[in-house]
Chains A and B, each alone.
Chain A
Amino acid sequence: MSYDVPDQELMTPGHVACPGCGAPMAARYALKALGDNTVLIIIASCWSIIAGPFPYSAVNVPLLHSLFATGGSVASGVKAGLEARGLKDTTVMTLAGDGGTFDIGIQALSAAVERNEDFIYMCYDNEAYMNTGIQRSSATPWGAWTTTTPVKHPKEQPKKDMVAIMAAHRIPYTATATVAYPEDLIRKVKKAKSIRGSKFLHVLSPCPSGWKSEPAQSVFLSRLAVQSCIFPLYEVEHGEEYSITVWPRKKVPVEEYLRLQGRFAHLKPQDVQYIQDNVDREWDKLVAKAKATGQQVPD
Chain B
Amino acid sequence: MSHQIVFKTEADMPLLPMSLGSTLYNKTGSWRYVRPIYRNKTSPCNQVCPAGEDIVAYLGMVAEGEYEQARQRILEENPFPGVCGRVCPHPCESECNRAQLGGAIAIHAMERFLADLPMERTLPALEPTAPANAKVAVIGSGPAGLSCAYQMARRGYKVTVFEALPVVGGMMRVGIPSYRLPRKVLDAEIASIVALGVEIRTSMRFGNDLGFEDLHDYQAIFLAIGQHRSRKLNIPGEGAQGVLPGLEFLRQVNLGQKAHVGSTVAVIGGGNTAVDASRAALRLGASKVVVLYRRSRHEMPAVADEIEEAEQEGVRLEFLTAPVEVLTNNDRVTGLRCVRMRLGAPDESGRRRPEVIPGSEYTIDVDTVIPALGQEADLSFLDERIQTEGGLILITETGATSHQAIFAGGDAATGFGTVAHAIGSGKRAALAIDKYLRGQALNGFPSLTAHVRAAPRDVDPTVVRFEDINLAYFMEEPRTPQPQRPATERIRDFSEVNLGFAEGDALREAERCFSCGTCNQCDTCWLYCPDVCILRRDGDGYEVNYDYCKGCGICAQECPRVAIAMEEELKWRK
Complexed CA–CA distance, A179 and B523 (Å): 15
B17, B23, B551: the one contacting A14 at CB < 8 Å is B23
Q: Is B396 an interface residue (CB 8 A)?
A: no
Cross-chain contact B5 with A55 (CB below 8 angstroms)? yes
Say whether B557 faces chain A, with CB atoms less than 8 Å apart.
yes
Residue among A19, A54, A57, A182 having the largest count of chain B Cβ atoms under 10 Å: A19
Determine the distance from Cα of A81 to Cα of B262 in the docked complex, in whole angstroms. Answer: 99
Given A55-B14, A55-B18, A55-B20: A216 in contact with B28 (beta carbons within 8 A):
no
- Decide if B552 touches A216 in the complex (CB within 8 Å): yes
How long is the Cα–Cα vector from A163 to B5 in the complex, in angstroms? 42
B359 part of interface (Cβ distance < 8 Å): no
- Pick the contact of B22 from A19, A60, A219 — CB < 8 Å? A60
Report A1-45 CB contacts with B as 1/0, cut-off 8 Å.
111010001011111110111101100100000000000000000
> Would you list which residues of chain B between 1 and 40 have a CB under 8 Å from chain A?
3, 5, 13-14, 17-28, 31-32
Residues on B with C-beta less than 8 A from A218 are: 530, 552, 554
**Given the complex of chains A and B, what is the CA–CA distance between A52 and B524 in angstroms?**
26
Closest-CB distance, A21 to chain B (whole angstroms): 6
Contacts of A182 on B, CB cut-off 8 Å?
Answer: 527-528
Interface of B is mostly: loop
Query: Bound complex: CA of A219 vs CA of B558, how far in Å?
Result: 8
Q: Taking CB as reference atom, which chain A residue is nearest B533? A: A13
**A10 to B, closest residue via Cβ:** B532
Query: Bound complex: CA of A219 vs CA of B475, how far in Å?
Result: 18
Instruction: For the complex formed, measure the closest distance between the CB of A219 and the CB atoms of chain B, giving whole angstroms.
Output: 5
- A3-B523, A218-B554 as given contacts; A13 in contact with B548, CB under 8 Å: yes
Is there contact, CB below 8 Å, between A19 and B31? yes
CB nearest neighbor in A for B553: A216
Interface flag for A272 (CB, 8 Å): no
B550 lies within 8 A of chain A by Cβ: yes
Binary flags per residue of B542-573, CB closer than 8 Å to A gives 1, else 0: 00010110111110111000000010000000
For chain B, the count of residues having a C-beta within 8 Å of the partner chain is 41
Q: Is B364 an interface residue (CB 8 A)?
A: no
Which has the most chain A C-beta neighbours within 10 Å: B3, B22, B472, B553?
B22
Contact of A216 (CB < 8 Å), options: B3, B5, B32, B557: B557
Q: Are A219 and B548 in contact (CB under 8 A)?
A: no
CB-based contact A15/B527 at 8 Å: no
CA of A98 to CA of B76, assembled, Å = 58
Which residues of chain B have C-beta atoms less than 8 A from A11's C-beta? Answer: 532
Asked if B468 is at the interface (CB within 8 A of a chain A CB), the reply is no
B548 near A56 (CB under 8 angstroms)?
A: no
B513-543 toward A: CB 8 Å interface, digit per residue (1/0)?
0000000001110011011110000000000
Question: Of the candidates A14, A179, A219, which one forms a contact with B557 in the assembled complex, judged by CB atoms under 8 Å apart?
Answer: A219
Cβ contacts A242-270/B at 8 Å (1 or 0 each): 00000001000000000000000000000
**CB–CB A14/B27 < 8 A:** yes
Residues of B within 8 A of A223 (CB): 472
A217 at the interface (CB under 8 A from B): yes
Complex: how many Å from CA A64 to CA B3? 22
State the CA gap A273–B560 with chains docked (Å). Answer: 32
Contact yes or no, B530 A56, CB < 8 A:
no
Query: In the complex, which residues 181-231 of chain B have their Cβ closer than 8 Å to any Cβ of chain A?
Result: none
Query: In the complex, which residues of chain B have a beta carbon less than 8 angstroms from the beta carbon of A13?
Result: 23-24, 28, 531-533, 545, 547-548
Q: Which of B21, B552, B558 contacts A55 (CB 8 A)?
A: B21
| CA A223 to CA B524, docked complex, whole Å | 14
Q: Are A14 and B19 in contact (CB under 8 A)?
A: no
Q: In the complex, are the beta carbons of A25 and B21 less than 8 A apart?
A: no
A52–B21 Cα distance when bound, in Å, is 10
A220 at interface, CB cutoff 8 A? yes
Q: Which residues of A contact B17 (CB under 8 A)?
A: 54-55
Question: Does A239 sit within 8 A of B, measured CB to CB?
Answer: no
A228 shortest CB reach to chain B, Å = 13
**Chain A, residue nearest B557 (CB):** A216
Closest B residue by C-beta to A57: B19
Within 36-93 of A, Cβ neighbours of B (below 8 Å) are at 51-52, 54-58, 60, 63
Asked whether, in the complex, the Cβ of B19 is within 8 Å of the Cβ of A52, the reply is yes
Residue of A nearest to B548 (CB): A13
Q: Is the CB of A55 within 8 A of B530?
A: no
Interface: A197 (CB within 8 A): no
Determine if B532 and A28 form an interchain contact, defined as CB atoms under 8 angstroms apart. yes
A21 to B553, CA, bound (A): 11
- B556–chain A nearest beta-carbon distance, Å: 7
CB of B22 within 8 A of CB of A54, answer no
With A19-B550, A19-B551 as contacts: A57 and B32 at CB distance below 8 Å: no
B18-A56 in contact (CB<8A): no
Q: How far is the CB of B234 from chain A (nearest CB, A)?
A: 58
Interface pair A1/B523, CB less than 8 Å apart: yes
Q: How far is the CB of A38 from chain B (nearest CB, A)?
A: 16
Shortest distance between the CB of B226 and any CB in chain A (Å): 46
Question: Which residues does chain B contribute within 8 Å of A208, judged by CB atoms?
Answer: 552
Chain B positions within 8 Å of A5 at CB level: 527
Chain B: minimal CB distance from A95 (Å): 15
Are A20 and B25 also in contact (CB < 8 A) when A12-B532, A55-B5 are? no
Q: A11-B532, A55-B19, A215-B554 are in contact. Are A16 and B527 (CB under 8 A)?
A: no
Measured CB to CB, the nearest residue on chain A to B476 is A249
> Do the beta carbons of A56 and B26 come within 8 Å of each other?
yes
A20, A51, A56, A63: which has the most chain B beta carbons within 10 Å? A56
Measured between alpha carbons, how far is A179 from B530 in the docked complex, in Å? 10
Could you say which residues of chain A place their CB within 8 Å of the CB of B533? 13
Q: CA–CA, A19 to B557, complex, Å? A: 14
For the complex, what is the distance from the CA of A170 to the CA of B552, rounded to whole Å?
40
List, in ascending order, chain A residues with CB within 8 A of B551's CB. Answer: 19
Cβ of A21 and Cβ of B23 under 8 Å apart?
no
Q: Would B530 and A17 count as touching, CB distance under 8 A? A: yes
Interface centre among B17, B19, B545, B551 (most CB of A within 10 A): B19
Assembled-state Cα–Cα distance A56/B25 (Å): 8
Interface positions of B (Cβ within 8 A of A): 3, 5, 13-14, 17-28, 31-32, 472, 475, 522-524, 527-528, 530-533, 545, 547-548, 550-554, 556-558, 566
- Could you pull out 10 A-B pairs where Cβ atoms are within 8 angstroms? A2-B522, A17-B530, A19-B550, A24-B531, A28-B532, A52-B22, A54-B19, A56-B21, A216-B557, A219-B554
Given A3-B523, A20-B553, 19 more contacts at CB 8 Å? A2-B522, A2-B523, A13-B533, A14-B23, A14-B25, A16-B26, A17-B530, A19-B32, A19-B550, A25-B528, A55-B19, A55-B21, A63-B19, A179-B528, A216-B566, A219-B557, A220-B472, A223-B472, A249-B475
